[in-house]
Amino acid sequence: MTALSLRALNRALMDRQFLLTRTDHSPLEVIGRLVALQAQEPNWAYVGLWSRIHGFTQSELTALLEDRQVVRSGLLRSTQHLAAADDFRRLRPLLQPVLDRTAGSSHFTRNSTGLAAESLVAEGLDLIGGGTLSRKELARRLAERHPGRDGRILAGEVELRTPLVHGAATGAWGSWGNRSAVCVTPAEAWLGQPMATAATAIGSTDSAKELIRRYLAAFGPAGVKDVQAWCGLTRLGEVVADMNAELRRYCGPDGRELVDLADAELPDPETPAPVRLLPAFDNALLGHADRTRVISDEDRKRVMPGQAQVRPAFLVDGRVHGTWSLGTGTLRLTPFRPLRATDRVALEQEAHRLLPFVGGTTVSYSDAVATRSS
């Protein structure tokens, strides 16, 4: 097998994530290529597209949400994602076992002891009635039906166990952070089309193979553990083995076997990678179990400090070099180590380009380390 360096894997990831060169593809095409964009805080998905698409505007994604071509709902790893409507219809049933596993964790089960999951889902759907209901109201009504139980946890379990879509009013560009007024609608009512059936999704080897192909197109080359970490499904090694004839195999820097689409091209490892500002929870940082192709283990602790946090980060030469934040109109850069003069200029230029998009007015550094050249 051909051996791939860490730099080769980095450039492959940057290329497939549209971070090596911004693309002229439409937002819908880019979302489809990336399979889904993590979006538990809605504004960050917009920033992710801005970093990948030439001339991207907020109105483009908002229009897709309003036209129901893109939906926001629980998907990969039981977290909120944006996905093309047709992809969501096919992928959510395939990934439902992952969401059910989350709903079966102690956080939910200790609140629903003695209450059958099927009955809870049926109650939730009955309360929503095929229309739209706020999460808060759904929680209140469920609590009324089940005194002594936390309605918010019951509502969260319903949302995990059955596909509910968030409307554009709370899934589109707006206030920063999670939205307290999120409303949910049954996916089939929102999309006007049925979800894929269990026969074509859950447990379907063909569906799992297609998911792996889509993953590799956006994140490959990668190992089986990487695919599983990205989507939450398990026992995919058997599926990958069955795809042997259509995959190319490599040896990673640590000796692990990596696979890729047979016709996928790898960019020259020496291709320059421009400075990029990534949003919180960006795909590029969350698509692998072994993330050293884009972030060191030391820096990973700074960007992902726990409690489900993934801070906005910036890339220098294709790798995480620091974090950034936005507050009171200031975009604040926090490098983890000194920047070369040329990289500092490129970073400041990219930050100033982002300012009007996020409503900022000033760029500053939060650490004097950035003012020193290495």
Q: pLDDT per residue over 42-53, tens digit each? A: 999 999 999 999
Range 240-263 average pLDDT: 96
What confidence score (pLDDT) does residue 98 get?
96
pLDDT mean over 148-153: 96
Structural tokens at position 51: 């970093």
Q: Does the pLDDT of residue 371 top 70, yes or no?
A: no
List Cβ neighbours of 354 (8 Å cut-off, separation of 6 or more). Answer: 47, 50, 277, 331, 360
Q: For residues 163 and 175, what is the distance between their CA atoms, to the nearest angstrom?
A: 25
Q: Which pLDDT score, from 0 to 100, does residue 200 have? A: 54
pLDDT at 374: 44
pLDDT at 267 over 60: yes
Amino acid at residue number 309: Q
Task: Give the residue from 179, 204, 216, 173 showing the smallest Cα distance to 359.
Answer: 173
Instruction: Average the pLDDT over each of 126-135, 213-222, 334-343 and give the range with the smallest value.
Output: 126-135
Local confidence band at 182 (pLDDT 50, 70, 90 cut-offs): confident
Mean pLDDT of the chain: 93
Q: Is the pLDDT of residue 276 over 50?
A: yes
pLDDT score at 369: 61
Looking at residue 40, what is its pLDDT?
A: 86
Q: How confident is the model at residue 330 (pLDDT cuts 50, 70, 90)?
A: very high
Per DSSP, which regions of 162-246 are E strands? 164-166, 183-186
pLDDT band at 192 (very low <50, low <70, confident <90, very high): very high
Specify the pLDDT at position 124: 96
In this predicted structure, what is the pLDDT of residue 308?
A: 83
pLDDT, residue 5, reads 98
Mean pLDDT, range 270-280, rounded to an integer: 97
What's the rounded mean pLDDT across residues 328-353?
A: 96
pLDDT surpasses 70 at 372: no
Closest to 263 measured CA to CA, from 323, 326, 221, 311: 221
The percentage of the chain sitting over the pLDDT mark of 90, rounded to a whole number, equals: 87
Lowest mean pLDDT among 161-175, 236-250, 347-361: 161-175
Please state the rounded mean pLDDT for residues 279-300: 96
> What angle in degrees, to the nearest 10, is found between the helix axes of 151-161 and 135-145?
110
pLDDT of residue 313: 98
| 159 pLDDT more than 60 | yes
Non-local CB neighbours of 182 within 8 Å, separated by 6+ positions: 134, 135, 166, 170, 171
137: Cβ–Cβ under 8 A, 6 or more apart, which residues?
none
